[in-house]
Amino acid sequence: MPSGSSPRPSPADLAAAQDKTIPDLIGPGLRVLFCGINPGLWSGATGYHFARPGNRFWPALHRSGFTPRQLLPADQRELLGLGLGITNVAARTTAKAEQLTPEELRAGGRALVERVETYRPRVLAVLGIGAYRTAFGRPRTVVGPQPERIGDTRVWVLPNPSGLNAHYTLDALASEFRALREAVEA
């Protein structure tokens, strides 16, 4: 098994992961706080963000230049040293994000604002336009930088990196991540 990898969860592990939570990877002074919609069952079973093998978060993060090498989910703690963190709009794990209710997303949006106000990252990057639209009541939002801020924190919306998001290839996803990185470094 490669360094930093974790065993593949069994079907029983995945079933037991329903409605679990995993800790945020967060701290003060982050350049970017990446915010997923909610953890999937693989993440709940392993304890790592974006853990499902088909998820393109880790490859897009590397291809965009945020990381010097492609990290595995089990390497996630290395992000803090790069000024990057991970949280979620909704904390509970589900098989699909569609299992979250609009009220859960709105409540998650309010809790996310509190986390951002506490930790004050330079940029909050929400990974999933539909979740952002619901959580923040902004139905016309498009991918990219947003006009609103949370305190001094800029807000950016990126496509959902799930392998189920067929609207974006890995190259297109990495390009959106790269635009964010370049803006953060400017």
Q: Looking at the annotation, which residues are catalytic?
A: 38, 49
Residue 50 region by backbone torsions, left for phi larger than 0, else alpha for psi between -120 and 50, else beta: left
Q: Structure tokens of 49? A: 């963000």
- In the sheet where 84-88 sits, what is the strand order? 84-88, 32-36, 123-127, 153-158, 144-150
Task: Give me the phi and psi of 117, to 5 degrees please.
Answer: -65, -30
CA–CA gap between residue 114 and residue 8 (Å, rounded): 34
Question: What is the bridge-based pairing of β-strands 144-150 and 123-127?
Answer: unpaired
24 contact partners, CB below 8 Å, separation of at least 6: 85, 86, 87, 88, 115
Question: What is the bridge-based pairing of β-strands 144-150 and 153-158?
Answer: antiparallel
Residue 94 DSSP symbol: B
